[in-house]
Amino acid sequence: MTARQVALITGASSGIGEATARRLAKEGFDLILVARREERLRELQAELEKEFGGSKGLSVGTMVLDITDREAVRSAFQSQKDLKIQDLLKRLHVLVSNAGLAKGVDPMPEAKVEDWETMIETNVLGLLYVTRFALDFIKPNRGHLVNLGSVAGRWTYPGGGVYCATKAAVLAITEGLRLDLQGSGVRVTNIEPGKVSTEFSLVRYKDPDRARKEYEGYEPLAPDDIADCIAWSVTRPPHVNIQEMVIFPTAQASVTHLVRK
C-alpha cells in the first residue's frame, strides 16, 4: 500500500491557508498545519479529522510556530518531539508557504519602519526558513513547493512599495528554487492572487470598516478560489510543473484598475 502524501501549510489558521487545508484533505493528503493561533489550529484539526478521518484515513498534525523565529523553525523540523509530526514529516511531499501579511499603506517617507521589518521578516525570511528546513524532508523525484506570492510582486502601487518588494522577492526566490532544484524532480510554483477577501485588509489597515470597504462593490476572489488553483497545481502528473499562476477577480484588470458597482 502506497503511503499517503503529506502537505505542510503555513498560515493555516485562516483564509487561503485554511481553505487549502480543506481542499487538500479532500484530495487525500495528510496535513501538517502551521500557524501561531493554537486554538484555531486545534479547531481546524478536529473539523478535518471528523470529516476525513476514520475510514478515510486522514492524519492531521499541528505546529504552533512563529515562522519569523529561525531557531524555532529549525527546532520544529530538526528536533521535533511529537511522534505524529515526525511520521508526517517523513512523508512530506508538498509545502505550501502561505503565511504572509501587509502592514500599512503610508508613503515611504511617513511609513513605520517596524511595519517594513514585520513584512520582510514574515514574507521573505519566514518563507525561506520554512523552505530550507522542509527541504531536508522532501526527497528527490517527489515533492512540490508552492509559494504564495501576489500580483503585487509584479506591479507596484502607491503606499505598497515595501510589501510589493517582499512579494517580488517571493517571485525571485521561487524562480531561484526552480533553478537550484532542476533535475531533482521537485516542482516549484508561484501563486499570485489579486484581491482576495480574507483577513489581509484587516491586518493591513487595523480598521474593520476600512477593511470591509476594500471588498465592496464587486466580487473579490474567495480563499476557496486560490485553494482550487493550489490543489490543481500539486495534482498534475509528475512531468508537469505549473510555474506560476496570476489570478484576478473579473472586476480587477491590474493592481490599480478595479471596477466597483
The stretches of the chain forming alpha helices (DSSP H) are 15-26, 38-52, 70-78, 83-90, 113-120, 127-134, 161-180, 200-205, 208-213, 223-234
Pairwise CA distance, residues 231 & 233, whole Å: 5
129, 157, 163, 218: the catalytic one is 163
Phi-psi domain of 129 (left: phi exceeds 0; alpha: psi -120 through 50; beta: other): alpha
Q: Is 129 a catalytic residue?
A: no
* Of 200, 242, 227, 244, residue with least CA distance to 31: 227
User: In one letter, which amino acid is 4?
Assistant: R
User: In one letter, which amino acid is 205?
Assistant: Y
DSSP 59: -
Provide the annotated active-site residues: 163
